[in-house]
Amino acid sequence: MRNFIDDHVELSCVVDTREQLPYTEQELGIKCISRKNDFGDYTFFGEYKTDDDELNTFNLGIAIERKGGNGLNGGPQDFYGSTMVRKNSVNLYEEVGRFRDNKDFDIFLIFVECSYAEYLAYVIPSKRCNMRAEIMKTHASRRGKVASLEIQGAQVCFKGSRFNSAKDVKVTADQWMIKHYDMVLNL
Q: Find the mean pLDDT for residues 134-141.
A: 74
How do residues 58-78 score in pLDDT, each as one tens digit? 999 999 999 987 655 567 999
Cα–Cα distances in Å, from 163 out to 26, 83, 85, 87, 101? Answer: 11, 23, 26, 29, 31
Q: What percent of the chain is predicted at pLDDT more than 70?
A: 86
Domain layout of the chain by residue ranges: 2-184
Backbone phi, psi, residue 75, to 5°? -60, -55
Residue 138, amino acid: T
Q: Which helix (H) or strand (E) holds 55?
A: strand 55-67
Side-chain-side CA neighbours of 181 within 13 Å: the count stands at: 14
Whole-prediction pTM value?
A: 0.89
**Domain 2-184: top CATH class:** alpha beta
Q: How many CB atoms lie within 10 A of CB 92?
A: 21
Look at residue 12 and tell me whether its pLDDT is greater than 60: yes
Selection from 119, 145, 165 nearest residue 27 by Cα? 165
Backbone phi, psi, residue 66, to 5°? -95, 130
